[in-house]
Every structure is written in C-alpha cells, then in structure tokens.
Amino acid sequence: MPIVEAHILEGYGPDDKKRLTSALTDAIRFVVPAPDEAITVMLHEYPPENYARGGEQRTPAPALPDPAKLVRAYLDAMEARDLETARSMLAPEFSMTFPGTGPMTTLAELLDWAKDRYRSVAKTYEAVEAFHSEGAAVVYTRGTLSGEWPDGTPFSGIRFIDRFAIRDGRITQQDVWNDIAEVRAQ
C-alpha cells in the first residue's frame, strides 16, 4: 500500500489540491501495481511565513490551469469561431499541423486552409486524456467529427485525434489526425 506525502505552501484551492492528489495517484499507478483505493496521498500545508528558500520567504506560485479544461475551452472557442478567445490560449511559439499540411502558426492560416475542406465541423468527444511528459502537459482528445462539406452535404462519424502540448498554461503545439480525406474520397 503506497503512501505519498507532499509538502506544499498554503494558498492552493480545493480544486488544485484535488488535481494534485489525483496526479500523484496516477504517477504511483504508472509503477506500482496497486488499485487507486490502496494508494494514500497526504498533503501537508505550510503557511508561507514558515518557508524560506535562499534565505528569503516565498509565496506559492499560482496553480497552472487544468490542461484538459484548457484544451476543451480552446476547441469550444474554435468551434464557436470565437477566435480572440482561442488566440488568447496560444503561446507565442504556437504551431499546428493538420493532415496534409506543414506547420501553421496562426488561426487565420488554419481557417484559410480549411475553407475548401468543409463548410462547418463539430466534434463529439469520446475521451480527453492529459498527462505530463518532458516538461509539458500533453492532452489527447479523440472522437468523431460531423458537419457539412463545402456543397452543404452533411457528414458525420469521422474519426479524429488531436494532440496538444501545453507549457506555462498556454498551448504550444497542436497535431491533428483524422479520416476526412478518406471519407470525402468515397
């Protein structure tokens, strides 16, 4: 029965602490073959005035946004064509790659590329999965696409997977895989 104790400064909210204990439980499960209910995670909180590093008192950094929620908010903004909101979630070094494209760095490039592919598109999500890898939060979304071809004919049930990388609470990369070309060719 693994027991994990973590020491944090006071100041994180209940949702942030729940995310932290869940992430620590997941980290243990990557290595130890124990069911979730056998893993105990305890957070010990300390007031900032009881902590110093380098001889200076420190305050806790704000929690990063939940990467899965950030990605869903971005995709929802894109679907609603709220481009200003979507753009605000992107890092300056953002790039995206869609089927058949090289890297694009602006939402305007994406919209220009997509205009001949479909009139509208919406996503139905089967899963949104987040984890940490090599200094970035990584989020995969998968499900099906529906919408209209440029001539107005409806389509649905097209598989997709999107992979996002997030650093410092902003999306740095989006890679997209889907079967639109294969379905359209039929």
| Residue (of 145, 141, 164, 17) closest to 89 by Cα position | 164
| Structural tokens at position 129 | 């999965």
pLDDT at 129: 95
Q: Where are the domains of the chain?
A: 3-57, 67-185
pLDDT at 143: 97
pLDDT at 90: 98
| Structural tokens at position 103 | 């890297």
pTM of the predicted model, to two decimals?
0.86
What backbone phi and psi angles, to 5 degrees, belong to 5? -120, 130
CATH T-level assignment (fold) for domain 67-185: Nuclear Transport Factor 2; Chain: A, (3.10.450)
Give the other-Cβ count within 10 Å of 70's Cβ: 20
pLDDT at 145: 96
pLDDT, one tens digit per residue, over 104-157 is 999 999 999 988 888 999 999 999 999 998 889 999 999 999 999 999 999 999
Arch. (CATH architecture) of 3-57? 2-Layer Sandwich (3.30)
**Low-confidence residues of the chain, pLDDT below 70?**
none
Contact status, residue 39 vs residue 29, Cβ threshold 8 Å: yes
